[in-house]
Amino acid sequence: MFEPQPTLTPCHPELVSGSCPRDLGSITESLINHRHIEPTTEGLLLCRYSEQTFLHNREIIKANVREGRERDSELKSGNAEAFQSISQSNQRHKALKITSKFFFFGSLFLFSCPKKEKVNKVQTISKVLSDKLKRKVRGGYAPRKAAFTLAEVLITLGIIGVVAAMTLPTLIQNYKRKEASTRLKKGYSILSQAITQSIADNGEIQYWEKTDEQFSEDGSSDYVANGELSYNFFMKYLAPYMKYIKIDKAVELEDPDAVHEYELKVTLADGSILYVHNGGCMDLLLDINGDNRPNKFGYDIFTFVLCSVSDQALAWCGPKRNFCSYNFGRLKTRAQALAACKSENGFSCARLLEIDNWEFKDDYPYKL
């Protein structure tokens, strides 16, 4: 074992006394105070290194210093690649410098101990430094794994939430409009095809048999009587040409103050509902989402008329038409249809939608 010269002065006072200190934590604290290492765990054990190990690492540092000086001159010339290389070299130099300081003070510690008190419980400092320097130094060592901090994650989630709050209502509204438009187009197509096929079998609509609307003694519409007439008309002219699930007719109500919701209710195969009323024309009320809410005109209920009487057909549908959206003959322009849709509780909205090719535009007066 190499014995230290008396002129050597260790960094820790206990080393000067020539005795081997029992508390290795005090050596660690001294090194930390001199900023030679960073704190790890209490009682960091230093490994036994020979003088040759210390001198070898000192030569490595000198070589890295020379390399750094040479590359410093390249950096001054403005070479970007040299700058990156110098940065990595400096980081490696830093790692070796820290390592050598451990070697140096570890050697002094071991050299200062009497032979009879040789340290037996020492660990290899290379493993301690390897784990530490791989986390601290880049360039020649494994870099720290990239990860997001909690603050970054929370900020990102907050931004996503704000964007979602701003866009979701519009997306949902557009989806509802698209869905309603698709259902309305399909319902109108079912009615149009059934009427066209019925005309082929039963002749023109003006020749179809229709009984006038029936009224009660108080002057109100007789739902039961008109319900029976609506049923007969539907079964003869429309039922054979469309698919439906069931038909409900108006019945006598026990409560004289109660009001019928319909005269004839036809549940179609796609779930939509067709209400039929025997008036001046046959009023066809299409509920595009069945019994689901809101069940309001302009929202999910849209009105069409089927007129067999010539003067009624001319008033409601205009010349040469017997089937049309409600008030088709009166509302010639989109502006008129839009105003009527707003002011007539939704009864004329089918006309507005027909002008817009059954699409719900941004200025449609009712929010779906």
Q: What is the pLDDT of residues 257-290, one digit of tens each?
A: 666 678 999 999 999 999 999 988 999 999 999 9
* CA 15 – CA 71 distance, rounded (Å): 39
Angle at 23 between CA 20 and CA 29, to 5 degrees: 110
- Percentage with pLDDT > 70 across the chain: 59
The mean pLDDT of the chain is 75
Beta bridge partners of 247: 266
Residue with tokens 């187009």: 185
Residue extents of the structural domains in the chain? 13-136, 177-355
* CA 260 – CA 225 distance, rounded (Å): 12
Strands 273-278 and 301-306: unpaired
Instruction: Note the pLDDT tens digit of each residue in 45-87.
Output: 343 444 455 555 567 666 666 776 676 666 556 555 555 655 6
Alpha helices, DSSP H, located in 204-326:
223-237, 310-317
Per the confidence metrics, is the pTM higher than 0.75?
no
Q: Which residues does 286 contact at the CB level (< 8 Å), separation at least 6?
A: 184, 187, 188, 191, 272, 273, 274, 275, 301, 302, 303, 304
pLDDT of 197 > 90? The answer is yes
Q: In this structure, what DSSP letter does residue 289 have?
A: T
Instruction: Note the pLDDT tens digit of each residue in 131-155.
Output: 555 555 444 444 556 788 999 999 9
Output phi, psi for 301, to 5 deg: -115, 130
Amino acid at position 347, single letter: F
Instruction: Note the pLDDT tens digit of each residue in 331-348.
Output: 999 999 999 999 988 999
pLDDT of 32 > 60? The answer is no
Q: How far is Cα of residue 156 from the mean position of the Cα atoms in its chain?
A: 13
Q: Is the peptide bond before 6 cis (omega within 30 degrees of 0)?
A: no
* CA 236 – CA 41 distance, rounded (Å): 95
* CA 64 – CA 60 distance, rounded (Å): 6
Neighbours of 97 (CB within 10 A): 15
* CA 82 – CA 183 distance, rounded (Å): 69
